[in-house]
Structure 1
């Protein structure tokens, strides 16, 4: 009896770079989830007498300007940065897939309207759209989440529309229509599942960009508000202390950089396993 092949996300871990990247991502997510268990320190309790302590056996990554343990705030900051970025990309994917699929399937004036709006927003940098929306909605995690979701909506709408436009002329779609399947059935049961893999891989890669965008907004003071830690907010606080206590900005910056690189490396391994580039060349 032939054994079932493991799913693509597991096969991607067999790549050397994909395995290292996947291990880092699992470790970061696990640390964020288990933050209250892993750290003996509170992320929001100040101890001014312990301020600016360099890395030591007691505080592995040192302390910040308020005497708070930096490693603890990094771990809790992962909760903020990863959850805000992940939820924002999930919302963007869901809305983008609905809009893109509807535009490609129904066509006509609706397709032209969606394409026009998408192309208009696509012409602006994500950071500019996010800054405008946060300025309107207000700073905080909710505003940041909505801003990131809207900033990346055009990307997933365009990708989904292109996939559906390619797939809707296939023979199995004509067969489903001839058997009396309705628009909703064809979209939900045939088109969207076949368009899902490229969109999900794109969403994973976009999550790395979203983490950078969330950190940028946090650096400007527009993200999570104190005392809630976020990686961008920690770097913002450390930027004024770079010569006095460089570890305050160094370690959050390294975590952001390594996490984003890990997401991209794992995403590349996943693309290779799914052969998305080959499928897209064949479709073209």
Structure 2
């Protein structure tokens, strides 16, 4: 008996220490810095019309290739437009594209994925076939085709990116649904005689939201980069509407003499996407840790 109690107490010692280390590691400095930067970008984008900014679309030929001054914090672009103002308004465009495209894809793909995972059979096979076809098609080629056929504008860009995100959310929610359907509360709801749609809405959907939200957060950053790439190629948001990719493209011919024209929007895009990816990855790991303890 004494040996057993000694062994048990020795085994119990590392547990609270490990828990303490995990608690300290849950909120690193990068987490707060990422949220601070992302919050500042979102706040500036939302309040842009109310801020005392220069008109981002009106040229100022006295400020062409202008440097950093108290009036123009980030200088001027090739037409003299205020770079800081265009970066702020470009955040509105990039965030709108990323959030709306991912949100639309998550709603459509999440709904179809839950239906496929719960009902299975022919519904699952058809959705799996459609998903494989879309994933097999190069995403950039599909976006170029959509823009070429429908035209380059904000609505078509959002719809095209949403179509690309639907297969990812179908697979994710289908896998999460297959796991959730084996849980006791779902089996109890079935035994109680609840309708399938009621079970999906009230029992399965709340358990699918967290993994979908973590992946969706990361995809917002991915789509911001995609929007910037398309705008850089001239297939994104048409001028004079400011976008980070369009600003980078506008200054590519002046990189040697006036690098600030492309450097500042590229830096803001990099920091924003880095913050989004960091937060999304931490959220995903936190969800996986909680799932392992269930």
How does the TM-score come out when normalised to structure 1? 0.90
Deviation at 1:83, TM superposition (A): 0.7
Say which of 160, 164, 179 aligns to 2:173.
160
Two-structure CA RMSD over aligned residues (Å) = 1.9
Residue in 2 that maps onto 1:264: 277
Say which of 60, 81, 94 aligns to 1:47.
60
**Which stretch of the first structure deviates more once superposed, 229-238 or 262-271?**
262-271
Q: Deviations over 1:240-273 (max 9, x none)?
A: 2212321111111111111111111112222343
Deviation at 1:125, TM superposition (A): 4.0
| Aligned 1:89-168 pairs, distance under 5 A | 89-168=102-181
For the pair 1:192 / 2:205, whether they are aligned, the reply is: yes
Say which of 203, 217, 228 aligns to 2:230.
217
Q: Which runs of 4+ in 1 moved over 4 A?
A: none
Residue in 2 that maps onto 1:69: 82
| Aligned 1:27-38 pairs, distance under 5 A | 27-38=40-51
2: distance between equivalents of 1:13 and 1:204? 18
Say how many residue pairs are matched.
271
| SS of the residue 2:75 aligns to | coil
For the pair 1:21 / 2:34, whether they are aligned, the reply is: yes
Q: Deviations over 1:87-119 (max 9, x none)?
A: 010000000101101111121112111001112
Residue in 2 that maps onto 1:6: none
2: distance between equivalents of 1:21 and 1:164? 31
Residue in 1 that maps onto 2:220: 207
| SS of the residue 2:219 aligns to | helix
2: distance between equivalents of 1:90 and 1:79? 16
Deviation at 1:282, TM superposition (A): 7.7
Decide whether the 8 Å contact of 1:51 with 1:63 is kept in 2.
Answer: yes
| Distance of aligned partners of 1:225 and 1:13 in 2 relative to their CA distance in 1, 3 Å threshold | farther
Residue in 2 that maps onto 1:229: 242
> Which structure has more RCO (C-alpha within 8 Å, separation ≥ 6)?
1
- List gaps (5 residues or longer) in structure 2: 1-23
Decide whether the 8 Å contact of 2:69 with 2:75 is kept in 1.
Answer: yes
Residue in 2 that maps onto 1:169: 182
2: distance between equivalents of 1:213 and 1:157? 21
| Distance of aligned partners of 1:51 and 1:13 in 2 relative to their CA distance in 1, 3 Å threshold | farther
Residue in 2 that maps onto 1:4: none
1: distance between equivalents of 2:208 and 2:195? 18
- List gaps (5 residues or longer) in structure 1: 1-10
How does the TM-score come out when normalised to structure 2? 0.87
| SS of the residue 2:251 aligns to | helix
